A and B are shown apart, each in its own frame.
Chain A
Amino acid sequence: MSIERRRTGRLVILSSVAVLVIGLAGALWFGARLHAERADNATIAALAAGQEVAVSPDAAPEVLFARLHFFTYRDRLDEAQPLLNRLAVDGNRPLAVASLYDMANARLRLAIDHLGTNDIDPAIPLVRLAKDGYRRALTLDPGFWDAKYNLDIAMRLVRDFPQIDVDGEEIPPEAAKRLWTDLPGLPQGLP
């Protein structure tokens, strides 16, 4: 075998070993990722099935959102709030929009329940928070029609007025009373 052939042979061996190492490293990396994603999907499926599965705070945003949805669906808003805080500032915009929207929906549903039993006082802050949530969702995604629709419902429950913004966060009690005169009517068809 000539020197040149031997050199070519060594080159083939070296490059194939390098490619082999790269391929194996890639396989390990993607294998681990696939495993983690499968585990996350199992958690999401369990939460969707109604099992209360504990989730680490630094889990994947999709898992955090599944847990948030689990809480908002069951009106456990205090437990959902920390998840929302985390998801709303994370880089994943669609999930931030979905989290804000689901949380606002939960608040608005709760407020409508209160209104159904003529329990107006706790309903007002809930509607205000829901409106704020829809607005934040729409700021991130102005084309989100479901959020527009539900914000419109919330707006007709408690209308925005210029003087509220002038007064800032605190609503004077008479302003709140003035607001409720604008309520077009209590929800129909609810108990």
Chain B
Amino acid sequence: MARRLRLAFLALLAIAGATPAAAQVRAVDLYAPRAFGYVIGDALTLTADITLDAPFTLDPAALPTPRALNYWLDLREVRLDDHGVEGGQHRYTLGLTYQTFYAPLEPRRLDIPAIALSATDGARRVAVNVPGWSFLSSPLREVMTSTPGQAMTLRPDTAPRMIPTAGTRHALLASLVIALGALAVLAWQMGWWPFHRRRARPFAMAARAMAGALGSPSSESAYRGSLMALHRAFDTTAGHGLFAEDLPGFFAAHPAFRAVEGEVRRLFAVSRDVFFGGDAPGAQRALPPGELLALARRLRAVEREAS
């Protein structure tokens, strides 16, 4: 909204028989946009601030309805904001949007008619006059064209356009990425391909189990259990029960473990002493629990590198 145009102050009329209306309608201030340079089809909005004395309220039934006011002027929108009573005065803001369809041949002043509203306190009615306004309407084209035929040359049609698909494509891509990410998490958790090796790490599991069991002070049963765990890891890696006699075949099939061949042979010798020779204390001296654990960790490292 541009300048304040106080076109009418105290625009009021008393209905016959009522007390002087000046006491009821305090002010009607009209705020208008620029008053020039409107062409055919332009919309313009007038705003009126209406102040009434407190018991009086605007009658909503008296508001104009959006319609064609005459052959060139449409009232497009009517908006009434009630600001409530403050200091004994009831304030309203009335917004009126008009659209002009006047096609002038030269700049021409056009009038927007005044609007008569009414206010009531239940018993009395007073008229509230929103003043009219005028603006300059300008032509869009010259009257006589210099080039023949140009006067009848229409602006081109609006051509049909393709439906933009980029948004849908991006949404599709995002959904696929989300689904793929969820699938990856699921596969990792379930140990599916390509995470199947994560599950197949028997030495890692054995090392983890032994780290708990062989904590100080280590008992004989814990030592035996640790040996069993390592053997089970060898069995799982080889795919069958592995005994000292099978070790050459195992190293041929899993060359990565050649790096620890000596220690593995020592382990197998020790476990033979423990399980079949009944010399557990001697075996513990030959391969103390600490070294056993270190061997398990080396095996785990070899396994991790090999996978």
Contact = CB atoms under 8 A, between A and B. Distances in A.
Interface of A: 9, 12-13, 16-20, 22-27, 29-31, 33-34, 37-38, 40-41, 44-45, 47-48, 60, 62, 65-66, 69, 72-73, 97-98, 101-102, 105, 108-109, 112, 134-135, 138-139, 142, 144-153, 155-156, 159-162, 164-165, 184, 187-190
A162 B70 CA distance: 7
B158 A98 contact: yes
Contacts of A105: 154-155, 157
A12 B176 CA distance: 19
A149 B141 contact: yes
B70 A12 contact: no
Interface string B239-257: 0000000000000000000
27 contacts: A12-B185, A16-B182, A16-B183, A20-B182, A20-B183, A23-B175, A23-B181, A24-B179, A27-B176, A30-B175, A37-B163, A62-B160, A69-B157, A69-B160, A98-B158, A102-B157, A135-B101, A139-B74, A142-B42, A142-B43, A146-B156, A148-B40, A148-B140, A150-B155, A165-B71, A187-B149, A189-B149
A17 B186 contact: yes
A43 B246 CA distance: 73
Contact of B71 (A24, A139, A164): A164
The 10 closest A-B pairs by CB, nearest first: A189-B149, A23-B179, A26-B175, A155-B103, A20-B182, A23-B178, A146-B155, A66-B160, A19-B182, A30-B172
Contacts of B180: 23
A69 to B, nearest CB: 5
A59 B301 CA distance: 64
A24 B176 CA distance: 7
Residue of A45, A97, A142 with highest tally of chain B CB at under 10 A: A142
Contacts of A184: 143
Contacts of A134: 41
A124 B239 CA distance: 96
Given A148-B40, A152-B139, A188-B152, 19 more contacts: A12-B185, A12-B189, A17-B182, A19-B182, A20-B179, A24-B179, A27-B172, A30-B175, A34-B168, A60-B163, A97-B158, A101-B157, A102-B157, A108-B154, A112-B152, A142-B42, A184-B143, A188-B148, A190-B152
B151 interface: yes
B3 interface: no
A108 B156 CA distance: 12
A26 to B, nearest CB: 3
Contacts of B149: 187-190
B255 to A, nearest CB: 31
Contacts of B70: 162, 165
Residue of B158, B162, B183 with highest tally of chain A CB at under 10 A: B158
B152 A153 contact: yes
B159 interface: yes
A87 B175 CA distance: 32
Nearest to B169: A34
Nearest to A137: B41
A144 B154 contact: no
B161 interface: yes
A172 B181 CA distance: 75
B190 interface: yes
